[in-house]
Structure 1
Amino acid sequence: MDNILLIGILLGTLILFISDRLSADLVALLALVALLLFKFITPEEAVSGFSNSATITIGAMFILSAGLIHTGLVDQLAVLAAEKIKNAQYGLMLFIIVIAGGVSAFINNTAVVAVFLPVIIKISRERGLSPSKFLIPLSFAAILGGSVTLIGSSTNILVSAIAKDHGLAEFKMFEFAPVGMTLFVAGGLFLWLFAYRILPERASTGELTKSYNMKRYLTEITVTESSPLIGKTLMEKKIAETYDVNILEIIRGEEKIWRKLRSTAIEKDDLLLVRGSVQNIVKFTAGENLQSLGDAVLGDEDLQAEDVILAEAVIAPNSTLIGYTVKEINFRQRFSAFVLAVQSHGTTFRDKIGRIPLHFGDSLLLQGSSKAIQNLQNNQDFLMLEEVKLEKYRTNKALLAIGIIALVVLFSALELLPIMVAAIFGAVLMVVTGCINIKEAYANIDWMVIFLLAGLIPMGIALQKSGLVRSAADNLLILFGDLSPVFILSALYIGTVLLTSILSNTATAIVVAPIGISMALSLGVNPKPFLMAIMFGASTSLITPIGYQTNTLVYSPGRYKFIDYLKVGLPLNIMAWLIVTLLIPIFWPFH
């Protein structure tokens, strides 16, 4: 009777996962509560998911990934690579596979896709291509790249922890790299040659530009003595193509240069009038070591003691500021905020920010203390006021962040520290060294994944204690026991892929991995090959948008349909099935 009730809880959990009526983490916690109420687990076992090595390691890996992203390393890598792309179609596809896939081997692949998504859309737009041709390959490349190392995917870490909980050895950092690299190379070659032809042109560049390219402001930027722009022309540096900003004018002392703008060599202390989105202006400033208006005032005493924030204000129809310039208003002294940039509808200005007369509907990008911005909230001169959330990269910490990741990989690969200890050590170093602050560390942990793991790991304990895992393994052996272990391994991979296609990869791994271990022990063979098949199956489900988080992430921006994933994902999964079936028994023999 107890086992029937437990099966009911398990089925109810799976149905809720598939229905997608509730968030996955909430479903997991509901299952946890049910297991506690019916006493399938003890209170200590109920909270064991939070202290499980997989949960802690994955949480630390989120912080490590954030450290690389907040130092601007991934973004700069994307910018530099984009400059080198020659062939629009195959060059961009190769960039996606090599760069996005390669980076995913060492940081969370969901974070990689989130960072590269607007980059791919931008490059597609510039080359007149549909982003829907490239976003599924971006997701798939990140998934395949994540299968190369232990830290490339949360599923890898989870299955390794399950193996440890069952008395088996944990996976090593590069233990499954031979199979993972084969999958990555073969899958990458398929994407490079065929994905562009298979995928439809569904997402127009215009629609996606509205989503990912915000208002274009006019601002002033000063060329510093250490800028790589000095002695180069805008044409040579390909500024517009690289950063998606427009240089309207160069102000050199009293001289204004705009007729031969692109062929004029940049000099130290030149003032550039730049138009672009806030994010692109920030990237341009950081990438070329320039000084924005905001950089010039950050050292002022009135801003040092308080949090400096950006806010967007729109001039109201009855504003007393209409018709006056920023300089005439004495904006900074009057409002204790600094005007960084101006967007004026329908007008292109070639003058300094302070000399532009303001009109109804103009948008001002303001910088000031949180108190000063708050004081502007009720000011009738402004129609609306909202904070602008903007990523400010710590580029001076980029090499340090790389070094910390390298240490984590080295300590784990040489088995000097367990992966959990190495990951915690690296996460703490990221915060202590200033690559990321403590608020950013908490903000970048995907708490849904943490609570999903914490809620489902006790489910695995309950299934194990009840004997249902052993019973499921025995029944499967009745059906397949006379067949070779290679056939069972192959069937486990297919079953895991199919189950992951309708559930989360985490839920599938927690349910299927213990069954695989039990089947191997009953057959008297090494459990490692079965675990590897299950791990690769849960990590490489490519046939639906819900099979993996990155697939879901690109679904809406690419305007995709379910069939699009099947067209590209099914051949890839068949290829992966053949590779896994052939190579796993070679690298991890059954006897």
Structure 2
Amino acid sequence: MDINQVAVLAIFFATIAALIISDKRPSSVFAASTLGLMLSGQISFSDVANNLTNEGLLTLILLLLVSTAVDKTSLIKNLGRKLITASFKASYWRLFGLTFASSAMLNNTAVVASMIAPISQNQHHPASRLLIPLSYSAILGGTVTLIGTSTNLIVDSFLIEQGHPGFQFWDFTLYGLIAGLSCGLLMFLLTPILPKIETRKGKFQYYFIEAEVVADSELIGKTVEQNHLRNLPELFLVEVIRDGQLISPVTPDLMIQEQDKLIFSGNIKNVDSLSHIKGLELFAETDGLLRDNLTEVIISNRAPIIGKTLKAVGFRALFDAAVVAIRRDGEQLSGKLGEIKLQAGDFLLLATGQDFETRHNLTKNFFILSEQKISTRLNKIQETVTLGGFLLTILLAATSVIGLATGLLFFMAVLIVFGVISNSEMKRNIPINLVIVIVGALSLASALQASGVIDLITGSLKPYLSDSSPFIALLVVYGLTLLLTELVTNNAAAALMFPFAYGVVQMLGVPLMPFALAVAFAASASFLSPYGYQTNLLAFNAANYKFKHFIHFGWPVSLLYSSIVLGLLKYTYDL
């Protein structure tokens, strides 16, 4: 073993150790390993630059950017609101079906993030009996197609780096569907062992928000329960104002009528959940000012508007702004938003017009605190373009009419033209940390191969594997990847194990595809730890789970999933 091999091995094991025992982000660890490889002369700057332009990596970036646009549509939000019913069986299968299907086409982490809040707030079942199944359903759904999880695209990027054409869109589908549906049934049978834990309350300031039921609303003629208004993320229906009369408390069987004023209390960042309900208009929407930036102000102690209502002062004309929500510390507000008498110290969230910042009366009335970012509802044309364009792009890629990266690139251009996503949003949503992980892993893989470390390792294993069947080698690759994904993260596990799998393939002279699939499926099989997969971490943080809950519920799922995947790989590739 020469000095270059020692240096590369040292950096490789240091990377794994740092991922396991340190609290640093994987992106920081891989950035450090890349710098270490460059400083020791194992790779050059041009090698790193080439990895940045890897087709699989660029495809992943485009897919994540497109996913943020699809997440703006009302589809997932409205389905999530209607997900949970009084029947646990119906709620579970609705949850599994929606999560599994949507995760096959959308980024599964984004799907889970969208559904956690309505599940946590449901009035029927402990969220702790549904959040782990939610995460595992997303993991399983992500394995059905090439684009379901970033793990698949990372392995695809390594295949392309080795001169392989890469995965086809449906290469994962047979294994993912059979394993996913089987594990979905097993999870349902296992749900009684999940704990019943009181959901942790979110830490946010409660704002007072008003919305009006307009003529064409889908809410009219149905009860609060039937409209699922109790399942909104971190928003609570506290009052209804009808014909000038205040209805409080609001009962589940209250029938919603046209022109009802619905008064909510909760997290203003989730106000877009109200915007996505057909026929429900926010107070600021009627002024045409509601955008994705809200300005938070506090009323000063010498403000002329103190003691007056929004309606009385003509707030819209006075400041070129509309009030989206009000917060008053130490007091529960009640009644119509426009008829609340303003006080010094009230917090207002304002949707502002073009002239807001030029008004000379701002400093007399407000201290401007900050901007709040919210998602605003797409119009019908934007919704149609976003959902229809996404499905068309996937269909064209799945049928090999055009490449996935090419289709996503043109679709991104369409989204920009129709105003669904802006240039600033694109910059904000580029997954820098994930890019660093992939580029670092590609660089480490290049160093392992160029220095001869892979040949050295596979040569030492040759006496043990050469006389055995290729399936034994596949088991070893799968098992090591599975172990690593529980210790580090799914993306890091896939990136670190592919070079080893590729070396085994070269040594044995067997097809590469089953080993690449084994790495991808094993890296996604994080069912034993809350830290191995992003969706698990989201569920873990949303409830007071303990580590043991994931182990107790996850080990049968992991065993069944692995058995099915390995069995199918052996059968389809005759290993």
TM-score when normalising by structure 2: 0.89
Structure 1 residue ranges without an equivalent (≥5): none
The structure with the largest helix share of the pair is 1
**Alpha-carbon separation, structure 1, partners of 2:34 and 2:332:** 59
Q: Does 1:497 align with 2:491?
A: no
The match for 2:281 is 291
Residue type of the alignment partner of 2:60: I
**Alpha-carbon separation, structure 1, partners of 2:160 and 2:320:** 58
- Which of 229, 238, 263 aligns to 1:240? It is 229
The match for 2:182 is 186
The match for 2:55 is 53
SS of aligned partner of 1:434: coil
The match for 1:400 is 385
The match for 2:17 is 15
The match for 2:539 is 554
1:185 Cα deviation (Å)?
0.7
1:120 Cα deviation (Å)?
1.4
Deviations 1:565-588 (A, max 9, x none): 222222211112211221112223
1:317 Cα deviation (Å)?
6.0
The match for 1:121 is 120
SS of aligned partner of 2:230: helix
1:58 Cα deviation (Å)?
0.7
Residue type of the alignment partner of 2:294: L
Residues 367 and 469 of structure 1, relative CA distance in 2, 3 Å threshold: same
1:75-474 paired onto structure 2 within 5 Å: 75-82=77-84, 85-87=85-87, 89-123=88-122, 126-127=123-124, 129-194=125-190, 196-202=191-197, 204-205=198-199, 207-208=200-201, 210-211=202-203, 214-221=205-212, 223=214, 225-230=215-220, 232-234=221-223, 237-238=226-227, 240-243=229-232, 245-246=236-237, 248-252=239-243, 256=245, 258=247, 266-267=257-258, 270=259, 272-277=261-266, 278=268, 282-298=272-288, 309-315=293-299, 321-344=305-328, 346-347=331-332, 349-350=334-335, 352-369=336-353, 372=356, 379=363, 385-396=369-380, 397-474=382-459
The match for 1:68 is 70
Deviations 1:397-441 (A, max 9, x none): 233222222222222222222333233233333333333222223
Residues 535 and 282 of structure 1, relative CA distance in 2, 3 Å threshold: closer
On the 8 A contact 2:141/2:148 being kept in 1, the answer is yes
SS of aligned partner of 1:435: coil
1:161 Cα deviation (Å)?
2.6
Residue type of the alignment partner of 1:295: E
**Alpha-carbon separation, structure 1, partners of 2:476 and 2:306:** 72
**Alpha-carbon separation, structure 2, partners of 1:109 and 1:383:** 41
Deviations 1:230-279 (A, max 9, x none): 5x254585353354553734455xx6585999766734xx2524233335
SS of aligned partner of 2:307: coil
On the 8 A contact 2:295/2:350 being kept in 1, the answer is yes
Residue-pair matches, total: 566
More divergent stretch after superposition (383-392 vs 62-71): 383-392
Residues 66 and 377 of structure 1, relative CA distance in 2, 3 Å threshold: farther
On the 8 A contact 1:66/1:441 being kept in 2, the answer is no
**Alpha-carbon separation, structure 2, partners of 1:117 and 1:52:** 33
Residues 227 and 569 of structure 1, relative CA distance in 2, 3 Å threshold: same
On the 8 A contact 1:25/1:452 being kept in 2, the answer is yes
TM-score when normalising by structure 1: 0.87
On the 8 A contact 1:104/1:152 being kept in 2, the answer is yes
**Alpha-carbon separation, structure 1, partners of 2:162 and 2:536:** 31
Identity between Structure 1 and Structure 2 (%): 26
**Alpha-carbon separation, structure 1, partners of 2:255 and 2:95:** 34
- Which of 552, 564, 572 aligns to 1:579? It is 564
On the 8 A contact 2:293/2:374 being kept in 1, the answer is no
The match for 1:4 is 6
Q: CA RMSD in A?
A: 3.0
More divergent stretch after superposition (56-65 vs 315-324): 315-324
More divergent stretch after superposition (373-382 vs 100-109): 373-382
Residues 273 and 140 of structure 1, relative CA distance in 2, 3 Å threshold: closer
